C-alpha cells in the first residue's frame, strides 16, 4: 500500500516541486496539499495521511503551531522544512519540541541543481518515517482526537538533507526478529564514552545526556549526522538542558570528565592518545560527515580497551566498523534496542555483527551511564 503524504507549504513553487518529487515514487501517494497551518490541520483530520511535510513560515498559522495542534488532535509523523542557517537550526529544534518527527533543510539550490539526489533522499525519508517505530515516536497506531499533547523534544527525532547526510541513504530496515535485551552491565571505568547516532539522534541524545550527573567521571564524544549550520545550535541547547557541559567540538579541544564534545556538521572528529581532539575537513569519499566510524576508529587507536561506545537510533550502518575496531582493541560497545529506536538501522548493524556487549532501551542506557559515576 502506498504511503499517503500531505504536502504543506505557502510557496506554490515549493509545494508543486515537493509534490512532483514524491509523486515520482510508486510507493508514495500525495493525497493533498495545504498552504498554511490551519489548512494543514483540517486536511490532516480529513485525509489521515501517513506522513506530512511541513514548512515553517506560513500565513494564518506557522508550521510549529500546526505541528503542535496536529500532535494533540491526530498524531502523525511530520517532516519540517527549514533553512540551512543557525536560525533554521533553532526552528528545526523548536519543531521537534512541538512534536515533529524529523526535519530537512529547505534548499532551493539543491532542488534545481541536484534533483535526483533530492528526490532519492526525500522519498526514502518519507517511506522510512511511514514505517518507523510509532511507539518510539509517541504516536498512536490510529489517529485519536483525544490524544495527549506531544511530550516534546525528548521524544522526537531529527535528521538532515545535507552534506552530513549519507550520499546514498538507506531505507528503514524491514522488521526483524527481536533481539533480547541484555542484563545490566558490570561496572568498570572508562577513559572515554563515545556515542554515535543519526535519525532520531537529537531526541535520543537529550534523553541520555540529561540523566548524567555534573560530576560524570568520563569525557564524552558525540557524533550526530547533522548539517554544519545545525550542530552549534544543537550543542547549545543540550548544554542548557544537561548537568554536564556540552559544546560543539573545535580543533585542539582537550577531553575532560563531565564534558561532551559534539562533532561539527560537515567535518570529521578524531581524538589522539593525549586526549586532544582533531577536527578535519569532511572527506568527500565518505558518505557521512561527521562519521561515527571515523571517531570510533580513532578512539580505538588512542585508548585501546578503555572506551565505551554507544550506538543509538539511526538509518544505515555507520558505527559498525568503528565498533569492530573498538571490540578488537578490547573496548565495550552498547547498542540501543529495536523497541526504543525511531529507526533500527545503526544499532541493528552492530547487533547483527555480534559486536554489542549490551543491548538496552534508551532509558536504560542513560541510567547505566549515570551509574558509571
Q: What is the pLDDT of residues 254-290, one digit of tens each?
A: 999 999 999 999 999 999 999 999 999 977 778 899 9
Q: How far is CA 272 from the centre of its chain?
A: 27
Res. 147 pLDDT band, cuts 50 70 90: very low
Catalytic residues: 198, 225, 318
Q: What is the mean pLDDT of residues 138-142?
A: 49
Mean pLDDT is highest, among 140-144, 313-317, 349-353, for 349-353
**Mean pLDDT, rounded, for 77-105:** 84
Strands 78-82 and 51-54: parallel
- Are 218 and 191 in contact, with CB atoms under 8 Å apart? yes
| Cα 30 to Cα 40: distance, rounded to the nearest angstrom | 13
Report the distance separating Cα 1 and Cα 192, nearest Å: 46
Q: Report whether pLDDT(320) > 60.
A: yes
| pLDDT-based confidence at residue 124 (cuts at 50, 70, 90) | confident
Rounded mean pLDDT, 348-360: 97
pLDDT tens digits along 232-261: 999 999 999 999 999 999 999 999 999 999
Q: Categorize the per-residue pLDDT at 108 as very low, low, confident or very high, splitting at 50, 70 and 90.
A: low
Distance CA 158, CA 100 (A): 8
* Among 126-135, 155-164, 328-337, the least confident range: 155-164
Give residue-wise pLDDT tens across range 5-61. Answer: 999 999 999 999 999 999 999 999 999 999 999 999 999 999 999 999 999 989 999
Q: Which pLDDT score, from 0 to 100, does residue 331 have?
A: 97
Cα–Cα distance between 164 and 3 in angstroms, integer? 26
Torsions phi, psi of 317, nearest 5?
A: -135, 15
End-to-end CA separation in angstroms for the chain:
49
pLDDT of residue 92: 87
pTM: 0.83
CA distance 291 to 282: 9
Amino acid at each position: 500500500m502506498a504511503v499517503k503524504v500531505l504536502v504543506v507549504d505557502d510557496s506554490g513553487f515549493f509545494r508543486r516541486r515537493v509534490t512532483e518529487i514524491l509523486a515520482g515514487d510508486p510507493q508514495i501517494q500525495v493525497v493533498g496539499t495545504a498552504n498554511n497551518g490551519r489548512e494543514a490541520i483540517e486536511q490532516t483530520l480529513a485525509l489521515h495521511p501517513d506522513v506530512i511535510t511541513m514548512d515553517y513560515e506560513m500565513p494564518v498559522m506557522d508550521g510549529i503551531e500546526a505541528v503542535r495542534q496536529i500532535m494533540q488532535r491526530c498524531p502523525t509523523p511530520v517532516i519540517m522544512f527549514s533553512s540551512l542557517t543557525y536560525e533554521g537550526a533553532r526552528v528545526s529544534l523548536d519543531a521537534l519540541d512541538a512534536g515533529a518527527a524529523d526535519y530537512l533543510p529547505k534548499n532551493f539550490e539543491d532542488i534545481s541543481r541536484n534533483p535526483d539526489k533530492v528526490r532519492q533522499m526525500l522519498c526514502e525519508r518519507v517511506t522510512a518515517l511511514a514505517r518507523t517505530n510509532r511507539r518510539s515516536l509517541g504516536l498512536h497506531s490510529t489517529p485519536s482526537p483525544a490524544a495527549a499533547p506531544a511530550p516534546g523534544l525528548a521524544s522526537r527525532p531529527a535528521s538532515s538533507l545535507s552534506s552530513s547526510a549519507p550520499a546514498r541513504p538507506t531505507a528503514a530496515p524491514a522488521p526483524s526478529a527481536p533481539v533480547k535485551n541484555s542484563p545490566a552491565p558490570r561496572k568498570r571505568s572508562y577513559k572515554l564514552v563515545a556515542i554515535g547516532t543519526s535519525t532520531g539522534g537529537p531526541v535520543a541524545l537529550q534523553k541520555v545526556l540529561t540523566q548524567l550527573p555534573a560530576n560524570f567521571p568520563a569525557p564524552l564524544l558525540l557524533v550526530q549526522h547533522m548539517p554544519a549550520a545545525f550542530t552549534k545550535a544543537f550543542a547549545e541547547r543540550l548544554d542548557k538542558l544537561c548537568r554536564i557541559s556540552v559544546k560543539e567540538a573545535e580543533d585542539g579541544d582537550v577531553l575532560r570528565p563531565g564534558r561532551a564534545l559534539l562533532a561539527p556538521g560537515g567535518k570529521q572528529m578524531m581524538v589522539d592518545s593525549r586526549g586532544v581532539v582533531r577536527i578535519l575537513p569532511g572527506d568527500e569519499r565518505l558518505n557521512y560527515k561527521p562519521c561515527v566510524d571515523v571517531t570510533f576508529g580513532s578512539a580505538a587507536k588512542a585508548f585501546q580497551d578503555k572506551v565505551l561506545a554507544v550506538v543509538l537510533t539511526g538509518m544505515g550502518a555507520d558505527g559498525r566498523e568503528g565498533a569492530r575496531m573498538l571490540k578488537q582493541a578490547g573496548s565495550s560497545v552498547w547498542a540501543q534496542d529495536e523497541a526504543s529506536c525511531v529507526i533500527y538501522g545503526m544499532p541493528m548493524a552492530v547487533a547483527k555483527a555480534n559486536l554489542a556487549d549490551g543491548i538496552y532501551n534508551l532509558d536504560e542506557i542513560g541510567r547505566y551511564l549515570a551509574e558509571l559515576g
